[in-house]
Amino acid sequence: MTDRRWIEAMAQHLPPSASTLRLLDLIGSVGAVRPDVAVTGDGAAGGFDAVFADGAALNGDLLGMALRALRPGGRLIAVDTQGEPSAAWVKTLEQAGFTRVLVEELLPTGVLLRGERPHETADTLARVQSVAARDQGAVKGCYVYLLVRQTPNKPVWALRPGDPVEWQALALADADGPLLAFSSLPNAVAFMQPAVLSGQIRDVNKLAKFSRESARDWHLLINPSIDILQQHPVTLVPVDHARAEAPDE
């Protein structure tokens, strides 16, 4: 099995996905990554969010196979524990058809390589919706995402130790109004972006991630259609930010 240091480095580069991320492990050395990642050694072309190659020779055949295995926007993530960052790696991945190439040094030794299969549209919302659409019917993911107003509206790095932070999450303003929750980051973005642009929701400045276990006592409405905003007024209700998981990229 791959050294856990490489697994942790790889996991930081996984793309946003539907409620379950599909990872193709070319070498069969990854093992468990995190609860929402389904790891397999084979599968249909075009169906994977990510392909991982650890110690494999990144020749034309392997890179071509990885590119075909990925969905548009999916990522190849490779680790060479003996290599070093260089422009040659960037050129190799770009010539194989990958975009948004990243080559970075790993510690204590090695190099991590990342490249994406090109998207099929320049429309960002359409890209997000294509991933979100994979969550159909009953959703059994490990996490839920809430649309939150954080006060103060600052990034994590700008907050000082001891600064008071309050979160309020979007909910229906009914008597037992549920929190509007989403099974993946793309689902949350696909709902929020058009709702904000149309003025149907305001003051939301954060997408917050919670494990299903930590949200077990909340009344949730999972993956609502944006049409619900025309049928029900919404409000903001307090939620405990200490329950949240580390945010996705």
What is the 3-class SS of 15-53, one letter each residue?
A: CCCCCCEEEEECCCCCCCCCCCEEEECCCCCCCEEEEEE
Residue type for 66, please?
A
CATH architecture of 4-116: 3-Layer(aba) Sandwich (3.40)
Residue type for 221, please?
L
Q: How far apart, in whole angstroms, are the C-alpha atoms of residue 126 and residue 108?
A: 40
Average pLDDT over residues 232-246: 92
pLDDT digits (tens, 9 = 90+) for 92-102: 999 999 999 99
The domain limits of the chain are 4-116, 124-243
pLDDT on residue 109: 76
pLDDT digits (tens, 9 = 90+) for 180-215: 999 999 999 999 999 999 999 988 999 999 999 999
Residues whose CB falls within 8 Å of the CB of residue 117, separated by 6 or more in sequence, listed in order: 67, 70, 71, 72, 73, 74, 75, 76, 97, 98, 99
pLDDT on residue 1: 47
Entry pTM: 0.80
pLDDT digits (tens, 9 = 90+) for 127-180: 888 888 887 665 667 899 999 999 998 888 888 888 899 999 999 998 788 999
Residue type for 141, please?
G
Name the band, by pLDDT with cuts 50, 70 and 90, for residue 41: confident
CA-based R_g, the chain, Å: 20
Q: How far apart, in whole angstroms, are the C-alpha atoms of residue 86 and residue 94?
A: 13
pLDDT on residue 144: 93
- Is 17's pLDDT higher than 60? yes
Name the band, by pLDDT with cuts 50, 70 and 90, for residue 43: low
pLDDT on residue 139: 63
Residues whose CB falls within 8 Å of the CB of residue 98, separated by 6 or more in sequence, listed in order: 63, 67, 76, 115, 116, 117, 118
Residues whose CB falls within 8 Å of the CB of residue 200, separated by 6 or more in sequence, listed in order: 226, 229, 230
- Distances in whole angstroms, Cα of residue 92 to Cα of each of 14, 26, 61, 101: 21, 19, 12, 10
pLDDT on residue 133: 81
